[in-house]
Amino acid sequence: MPSSQNSKRHISVWTASAFVISCMIGTGVFTSLGFQLQDIQSVFPLLILWIIGGITALFGALTYSELAAALPRSGGEYHLLSRIIHPAIGFVGGLVSSTVGFAAPAVLAAMALGNYLSAVFIQFTPTMVAVIALIFFHLLHGISLKYGTLFQDGATAVKIGLILIFIFAGLWIANPQEIYIFPKPGDMALILSPGFAVSLVWVSYAYTGWNSTVYIAGEVKNPKQNISRSLLLSTGFVMILYVLLNYVFLYAAPMEAMEGKVEVGYVASIRIFGELGADIIGIGISILLVSTVSSYVYIGPRILQVMGEDHSYIGFLAKKNDQGIPVNSFLLQFVISMLFILSSSFEQVLLYTGISLILSTTATVIGVFVLRNREPELDRPYKAWGYPWTPGIFILVNLWILFYTFKEQPFESFIGLGIFGASMGVYYIGKKFNKGGMNNEHKNKTILRRS
């Protein structure tokens, strides 16, 4: 490998894992349960939600590991779908990933951060906290590569420590709720209900980030081994934490106290630690969410950067400073984040974000079947365990979720679908202004096949 390529690979397997964990653990797990309780009031189906979501994410990680190890370039779905299916589909995947995949989750994490901090410090407003957090992290990651990655490693360690303390304290609460974790009559009907499928959108969103390493694959050291390691270890670890954390929420606080609430972690903290302790934990959860905002802000512009490298009409997004940071992509992501935060409610943003991401990741997992059939001789340093069952189950579960979500939440579903259509329109309109458009695409495909 040329030295110039080595020089840009600065992310270790531990830092890559830290980004995956930070992207996954944040807004979703500390906000989803309150909305799930509106349709499901039984412990066994609620925990099964998180197990199904975790296994599905793990199967997705197995598949993405094969694709990213064989085609190790930054850009995530943009790179993979462009290389495997068609540049237009890749462009759509990239635009969806960079906007609703990273800008919107960064906003959701910042809004949740605002909700938790304003519950402790009533002089703060959620929107004010969210805006300040987004400004800070766009400046941090847009200016300093060294301090941005150092912050991410440290914040992730603090995040895991806080969650483990919360779980341990919750399991030893003096006056727990009387809950029954085994199936009871009616639970199977709940699991097969439309409400359960729609609740999986919330869970799917909580697991969003299991594929984070593929977006920065071009910066990962020894990518053919470390990409799969970071994805699989992180996803499995997070699934265990999620099941335990939701069990503690239900064990500590009554369902009616959490139903419809965003800050379910704070509600459970009051039962575990008392009012003063809950304020301390609320601040702790805020620190945890800070790490999540940071990780999404760091990764999102890398997708826009790679798209700018391949399409001259958005070539300004590929511009880097002397540290290799795509400064214009950071600026665009910040503008998109501000539009999200000022125009939509938390629940709306989460729903159409979750739906759009399910569509994008499902298309990418389908790509493993296409690539194996089309290029059986391609060097695959890692092959997905359980193929074709693991990617097949991932696709079927996501289609089941999408079917019921379109049925039960048509407005948000069509917004998610509309984002895909609009992205396709941008691609074909942009091609008309692309200087030497077809030559650029041909050159890009040649580079990708050699990667």
13-24 and 223-252 are packed helices; what angle lies between their axes, rounded to 10 degrees?
A: 30
Reported as a single tens digit per residue, the pLDDT across 32-60 is 888 888 888 899 999 999 999 889 988 98
Neighbours of 128 (CB within 10 A): 13
Distances (CA, A) of 54 to 244, 260, 364: 12, 23, 18
**Is pLDDT at 167 greater than 80 in this prediction?**
yes
Average pLDDT over residues 197-206: 81
Global pTM value: 0.75
What is the signed CA dihedral for 119, 125, 128, 132, rounded to 10 degrees? -20
The predicted pLDDT at position 443 comes to 47
Q: State CA 299 to chain mean position distance.
A: 10
Give the domains, in start order, of the chain with CATH numbers: 3-450 (1.20.1740.10)
Reported as a single tens digit per residue, the pLDDT across 335-373 is 888 887 776 666 666 666 677 778 888 999 999 999 999
The predicted pLDDT at position 438 comes to 41
| Of 20-29, 105-114, 343-352, 398-407, minimum mean pLDDT range | 343-352
Cα separation, 259 vs 250, in Å, equals: 11
Name the more confident of 422 and 350. Answer: 422
The predicted pLDDT at position 432 comes to 77
98 neighbors 362 (Cβ within 8 angstroms) = no
**Is pLDDT at 328 greater than 50 in this prediction?**
yes
Average pLDDT over residues 393-410: 86
Mean pLDDT rounded to a whole number for the chain: 80
Helices (H), 311-326: none
Cα separation, 17 vs 2, in Å, equals: 25
DSSP state of 361: H
Q: What are the residues whose beta carbons fall under 8 Å from the beta carbon of 140, sequence distance 6 or more? A: 147, 148, 151, 294
**Is pLDDT at 3 greater than 50 in this prediction?**
no
Q: Where are the beta strands (DSSP E) in 276-350?
A: none
What is the pLDDT confidence band of residue 7, given thresholds at 50, 70 and 90? very low
104-120 and 27-36 are packed helices; what angle lies between their axes, rounded to 10 degrees?
A: 80
Q: Phi and psi for 174 in degrees, rounded to 5?
A: -70, -40
Neighbours of 260 (CB within 10 A): 11
| Of 1-10, 89-98, 164-173, 199-208, minimum mean pLDDT range | 1-10
405 neighbors 413 (Cβ within 8 angstroms) = yes
